[in-house]
Amino acid sequence: QKEVEQDPGPLSVPEGAIVSLNCTYSNSAFQYFMWYRQYSRKGPELLMYTYSSGNKEDGRFTAQVDKSSKYISLFIRDSQPSDSATYLCAMSHSGSARQLTFGSGTQLTVLP
């Protein structure tokens, strides 16, 4: 079993829909949680960074962490075709960039 599980999709939604992306994990020591967005043939870019449990909002994006369930989510409101990308969750126990464990990514397509 992988330490971090992420549904690979693909996920296809109409423009304007609310998108929910999720990861589950098994290591209870993880405290730092991140979401990266990766466009086709590009490197991943950091989208959201949260510590411990709770919610964090940034524009149309909301990250949620439920440590009791070992479950994290990324919500995208009013999705746009430009949101079409692969979304990778990542987490670590120390916050150190060299100890990140990544999910395999969910491929999202937002249809105009």
Instruction: By CB under 8 A, name the binding residues for other proteins.
Output: 4, 6, 8, 32, 41-46, 49, 88, 90, 95-98, 100-105
Decide: helix, strand or coil at residue 92. Answer: strand
Instruction: State which residue, 77 or 93, has the beta carbon closest to other proteins.
Output: 93
Instruction: State which residue, 30 or 32, has the beta carbon closest to other proteins.
Output: 32
Residue in the block written with tokens 């693909």? 10
Q: How far is the CB of 78 from other proteins (least distance, A)?
A: 26
Instruction: State which residue, 2 or 77, has the beta carbon closest to other proteins.
Output: 2
Residues 6+ apart with CB under 8 A from 48: 34, 35, 56, 58, 61, 63, 74
Q: How far is CA 49 from the centre of its chain?
A: 10
Instruction: State which residue, 45 or 78, has the beta carbon closest to other proteins.
Output: 45
Q: How far is the CB of 36 from other proteins (least distance, A)?
A: 8
The two structure tokens encoding residue 99: 């100890």
Backbone φ and ψ for 92, nearest 5 degrees, come out as -155, 165
